[in-house]
Amino acid sequence: MRWIAHLDMDAFYASIELLRYPELCGQPMVVGGRHQPVTTPDGERQFARLKDYAGRGVITTATYEARALGVHSGMGLMKAAVLAPEAILLPVDFDEYRRMSRLFKAAVRSLTPVVEDRGIDEIYIDLTDVPGAQERSSNDPHAGVRRLGSALKDSVRAATGLNCSLGITPNKLLSKLCSDLEKPDGLTILTPDELQTRIWPLPAQRINGIGPKASAKLEALGIHTIGELAAMAPLELITHFGALYGRWLHEAAHGRDERPLLLHSEPKSLSRETTFERDLHPLRDRAALGPTFTALCERLAEDLQRKGYVAKTIGIKLRFDDFKIVTRDQTLLRPTDDALEIRRGAGLCLKRVPLERRLRLLGVRAGGLCKTGEKNQAASGGQSKDGATLPLFE
């Protein structure tokens, strides 16, 4: 039998912070913003509270205690402060999150090499041919795969000190859904004959791939659960959602998914961006914008170098105080991972944008990626002759 596992780290960023600050265990806590803890002369750590926050930052993640108060990732910190004013506020530390991500993935690969990387805190694992996966016992037909699931969880915990949740089913779609059923620290094993009792009663939007728009449309059609979706005729779904998506909805509701694991995929782009605590004027706040712009380019260059890529195009992303988003791209003469070249390309993009309104967000993107070894083979582009300058935000 085919066995695919989806491993999802539990409240990953928040759990890492709790390792660093164990005194916060059991308390509502969110990660976002830039407020660093302060250590008093007697060695006591003092933490910022949501009620004291002022700005436009958003929550990166939250502990389960904070989530119980209605707080969730992506929510504005000011809005969250209304729901959980006493919640602890910690700054993000992406360098540490990436380090822990590498640790837990290495721990998994030490047990089984067939892994699809899905992001910083989740992976798919093919357990089908792992020794012991197909073992059964008289009182547990899934004894082998259950033992493997427990071993994976133990290995991740030993490497990181963190808990994860696993869903193990015959395919990626069901495993993704099941890894969320018994969080935190869950292990859920499901076979197709349990679909009607364990999956069909769930809300339709629990299926990965049914977003807010499709969910609202299903609600309007009187479809609330996965079981109700499964009962719809395929032709009716196609009528309302189109041929491709309609057929997929029917297959997904019946738990069918033949996708293989993708063991290697090349990123199309890398980016770095920041949201300002207050709107910054392109001219009057150049002293603040200049170093920020340069730092984003430097961090993007570091990302490229660490991952072994060079970029053929450099782009910028601006969000103004009226929430309008503007992007521009610049093709380089030759692919690069050099911070100065990235800064020059981004500066040329910036020259093509009317900078008349205050800025809420500034970002830099590297596209047209190729491996560093292919740098000299890449086709040249058409960089402007003034590419040697560093315009704007100097």
Give the catalytic positions in this structure: 122
User: What residue ranges in the chain does DSSP mark as E strands?
Assistant: 4-9, 29-31, 38-39, 45-46, 48-49, 61-62, 88-90, 115-119, 122-126, 164-169, 187-189, 269-280, 309-320, 325-336, 359-371
For 15, half-sphere exposure in the C-beta direction (CA atoms, 13 angstrom radius) is 17
Task: Quote the tokens at residue 30.
Answer: 């969110």
The answer to whether 100 touches 16, Cβ cutoff 8 Å, is yes
Q: Which residues contact 256 (CB under 8 A, 6 or more apart)?
A: 171, 173
Phi, psi (deg, nearest 5) at residue 154: -65, -40
Q: What angle do CA 229, 242, 250 make, to 5 degrees?
A: 25
Q: Which residue has the tokens 């899934």?
A: 142
Q: Which residue has the tokens 């073992």?
A: 135
CA-closest candidate to residue 19, choices 105, 96, 133: 96
What is the torsion angle, in degrees rounded to the nearest 10, for the CA atoms of residue 149, residue 157, residue 179 and residue 31?
Answer: -170
Q: Peptide bond before 291: cis, by omega within 30 degrees of 0?
A: no
Which residues lie across from 49 on neighbouring strands? 88
CA distance 174 to 179: 9
The answer to whether 226 touches 253, Cβ cutoff 8 Å, is yes
**Helix H or strand E encompassing 173:** helix 172-178
Pairing, β 38-39 against β 45-46? antiparallel
Task: Quote the tokens at residue 359.
Answer: 């800025």
